[in-house]
Homo-oligomer: A and B are copies of this chain.
Amino acid sequence: MSRAATTADVFNAVGDDARRELLDALATGEATVGELVERLGRDQPQVSKHLRVLREVDLVRCRNAGRHRLYRVHRPGLAPLQHWLGHLTTTVNEHYDRLDDYLHDLQRESLHGSEN
Residues of A within 8 A of B (CB): 4-5, 11-12, 14-18, 20, 23-24, 27-29, 61-66, 68-69, 72-73, 75, 78, 81-82, 84-85, 88-89, 91-93, 95-96, 100-101, 104, 107-108, 111-116
Contact = CB atoms under 8 A, between A and B. Distances in A.
Contacts of A23: 88
Contacts of A63: 104, 107-108, 111
Contacts of A12: 15-16
A104 B27 contact: no
Query: What are the 10 tightest A-B residue pairs by CB atom distance, in nearest-first order?
Result: A15-B15, A66-B113, A27-B91, A65-B113, A64-B111, A12-B15, A11-B15, A63-B108, A28-B95, A63-B107
